[in-house]
Chains A and B, each alone.
Chain A
Amino acid sequence: MLSSLWEQTINLTLFVILLRMMPPILLGALGGLMTDRAGVINIGIEGLMLVSAFTSVAAGSATGSWIIGMAAGVLAAMIVSYAMAFFSLKMNVDIIVTGFAVNIFGAGITVLMMSILYDSHGSYVPENPVSIPNVVIPFLDQIPFIGKLLSGHNLMVWVSILAVVFCYYLLYHTPYGTHLRATGEEPGAARSLGIPVVRIQYSALVWSGFFAGLAGSYLSMGMTSMFVRDMTAGTGFLALAVVIFGNRNPFGILAGSAVFALATAMTMIIETTPGNVIPSQFIKMVPYIVTIVALVVYAIRKHRKTLFT
């Protein structure tokens, strides 16, 4: 069994699966990051992803265009996140409570709409599915190894990696990002300098809707071509763990997402290996064990840092 795992590592199968699993975690975490740094952490990423996943597949299959599907999904998630901002910033509802409400809302509204539109309670598989395309790089894909390394990945894989660079520049190299971080760390100081704190927090929540929206549409139009109730299965919460684990910065989050995606990829490979003797329940635990180990490592590292500085 180990030899089979090794073989798949060598021939890059593991790497390819890893990249396939990464975008939802990574994009969700970037959404969480924007809100966390602005001091209004959005724990409703999970709910936003569900809303987007359903809207994407519904709009995409109805129009036959994955672009329209994705745009609709992202827009829906942004509208819900804007509503979150309205309730928490304008109506003074606690941000954690608001996030919780969005998670419940996301799980409920998608099933409700599914039963109204498609008369189904469990899943919806469109008759004419559309999906976000894979990027095949001409010529390069002919070259062994490098072709598999770089070509044929889903568009959203590249989008999510570009989003990391985008967030890095936004947060650390623009006045807006500096204001956003100042708002999260010392809102009083930001306000005293004329920085529009509330407007920035609004924008941060809408950013989280944007990124969670992308993650959601990839779930239903990239990784799969259907919507299943609660198909996020905790990805949104995993993403929040990645925000902490990634030290609250974009590249740390990229590394963190890769670790979690690797755990999931290994699970899949071991499960499908012929002659596997390990019960599947144990294998399915791997990502969660990795979560616990990762957070413990993070806590120890942080503790050391405060200890020796």
Chain B
Amino acid sequence: MADLLEMRNIHKVYPNGTKANQGVSFSVRQGEIHALVGENGAGKSTLMKILFGLESPTEGDIFYRGDKVVLKSPKDAIKYEIGMVHQHFMLVPSFTVAQNIVLGSEPTKGVLSDHQKAIAETQRLIQEFGLKVDPNAKVENISVGLKQRVEILKVLYRGARLIILDEPTAVLTPQETDELFQSLKKLVSQGYTIIFITHKLNEVMEISDRITVLRAGKTISTLITSETSKEEISRLMVGRDVLLRVEKQPAKPKETVLSLDEVSYVSETGKQVLNDISFQVRAGEIFGIAGVEGNGQTELIEVITGFRKNFKGRITFLSQDLAGKSIEEIRNIGIGHIPEDRQTRGACLTSSIKENLILDLYRDKSFRRGLFLNQKKINEHADKLIQEFDIRTQSRDTLAGALSGGNIQKIVVAREISKNPKLLIAAQPTRGVDIGSIEFIHKEIVKKRDEGAAVLLVSAELSEVMSLSDRIGVLYNGELAVILENSESLTEEEIGFYMLGVKKQEKRASAT
């Protein structure tokens, strides 16, 4: 089969000297789903930005249907029928679905926009591709899965035949992912070509025809999916053998550490975000919370860690009532917190690594000398943790913001775990972190459990919750829909039903 598109020997050096691509070659055939995999910083995004005309390569050529092309802007890419669905949705919330789809190339009647024609065009696309969505619905009111359909329709409206999807499943439930995959297969059967960027190997195996692996800005290999395995791909991605499953012994839970009794919370906009939530987390176990993002996870964590006051019900930590305690007091009684957003809450990006490692300890006597900070002690502390937690950096004085996401997260994990908390709250601990670091962070969390700490894990990655947790609670619409014992027989689909609110366990029976 002839190549639809070929990128040959692409180099990209950013003005600050970062070499994002160093000789990447990559080709896509008409009518295939081609997965592009690699760790964060492997150069996937840069390569796709070059293909979509958002960046220009320092060196190298792009061939489309055998002809050399130069892509200077997204407009050029659209001209060659290349479309991109971005990881972060590029939609205008207050506009309707139809308005979003035609935005930038609206049908007109004289100087005025032709709203009727925009809706008709949208209807036609929806029918043609079976991507059901209401053209008159406002985008701010539709679900994440539907928003993604709108993004795909947008690309199709512009006449794209080659569609780039950047981590499209990151925000979807298992069911929504299935629907997306069906749509993609249908598109391919109609002659469309798809480039699928991801780091989830299960999905790669399920959907793709061929796989190109990038590592450190270079093409490592292009594989045929049916002839390879997850183990092989991950080895190529990381450059060494990786444990895909988390190795852990069965939990030996002891006394209850954290207990929530009928906790409810009404947000400042008056929405009931948490409704009558009860569960316990015991020493020596990992309690995982699954759920589609925005179903109360953030608020649940913030209520426990003291960011939000005025909740109803009772939260107790080792027989102490947490109500009315300040964030500092809560941290000091033995609760460690890895926040879901490391950029704003986890770390201070404009401070150095060593400063980040003592963010909550600077008042501690051992880091002080009279009124001043004891730099010697702080440096020793930093060097010890950098070593222990494998933070890849030139020096302890490097600014946190200069590190990769995975390394910033390691700083946060190091700070929280090294305090020896009796309860560790880990919210999205591996979001946007590369596979190598994920493995490391998972190991540390399990280690903490085995040392007798209670762990409350919240993650939007269902596979993460399932591989780490001993028990799993599912949040749906602010309610704890179910609490399940994690076992081999528990499937993603089963949890998915609770995540979507299709199934719900009887209330009182759920409290263990």
- Interface on A for B, CB 8 Å cutoff? 169, 173-175, 178-179, 181-182, 185-186, 188-190, 192-195, 306-308
Contacts and interface: CB of A to CB of B under 8 A. Distances in A.
- The dominant DSSP class at the A interface is helix
B90 A175 contact: no
B91 interface: yes
A188 B104 CA distance: 13
Contacts of A188: 88, 90
A182 B103 contact: yes
A175 B105 CA distance: 8
B90 A194 contact: no
A194 B111 contact: no
Interface string B80-101: 0000101011111111000100
B91 A186 contact: yes
B17 interface: no
Interface residues of B, number: 27
Given A185-B94, A189-B90, A189-B92, A175 B106 contact: yes
Contact of A307 (B104, B108, B113, B270): B270
Contacts of B74: 192-194
**In the A-B complex, the 3 residue pairs with the closest CB atoms:** A193-B104, A189-B90, A307-B270
A1 to B, nearest CB: 44
Contacts of A194: 73-75, 78, 104
Contacts of A174: 111-113
Question: Chain B CB within 10 Å — which of A173, A186, A188 has the most?
Answer: A186
A175 B102 CA distance: 10
Contacts of A175: 106, 108, 113
A114 to B, nearest CB: 42
Nearest to B91: A189
26 contacts: A173-B112, A173-B115, A174-B113, A175-B106, A178-B95, A179-B104, A181-B94, A182-B95, A185-B94, A185-B95, A186-B91, A186-B92, A186-B93, A188-B90, A189-B91, A189-B92, A189-B103, A192-B74, A193-B90, A193-B104, A193-B105, A193-B154, A194-B73, A194-B74, A195-B103, A307-B269
B210 to A, nearest CB: 27
Given A174-B111, A175-B106, A175-B113, A192 B90 contact: yes
Which of A194, A195, A306, A307 has the largest number of chain B CB atoms within 10 A? A194
A188 B88 CA distance: 10
A38 to B, nearest CB: 13
B92 A182 contact: yes
Contacts of A195: 103-104
Most chain A beta-carbon neighbours within 10 Å: one of B73, B99, B103: B103
Contacts of B105: 193
A188 B151 CA distance: 14
Nearest to B78: A194
A306 B269 contact: yes
A293 to B, nearest CB: 23
Given A194-B74, A307-B269, A178 B94 contact: no
Given A181-B95, A306-B269, 16 more contacts: A175-B106, A175-B108, A178-B103, A182-B103, A185-B92, A185-B94, A185-B95, A186-B91, A186-B92, A189-B91, A190-B92, A190-B103, A192-B90, A193-B105, A194-B74, A194-B78
Nearest to A195: B104
Nearest to B54: A192
A173 B89 CA distance: 25
A169 B112 CA distance: 8
Given A182-B103, A194-B74, A306 B93 contact: no
A307 B94 CA distance: 18
B204 to A, nearest CB: 26
Contact of A178 (B93, B106, B111): B106
A173 B113 contact: yes
A181 to B, nearest CB: 8
A175 B91 CA distance: 16
A175 B88 CA distance: 24
A189 to B, nearest CB: 4
B306 to A, nearest CB: 25
B224 to A, nearest CB: 33
Contacts of B103: 178-179, 182, 189-190, 193, 195
A308 B272 CA distance: 11
Contacts of B89: 189
B108 to A, nearest CB: 6
Q: Which among A173, A190, A195 has the greatest number of chain B C-beta atoms within 10 A? A: A173
A36 to B, nearest CB: 14
A130 B493 CA distance: 79
Contacts of A193: 74, 90, 103-105, 154
A174 B93 CA distance: 19
A193 B78 CA distance: 10
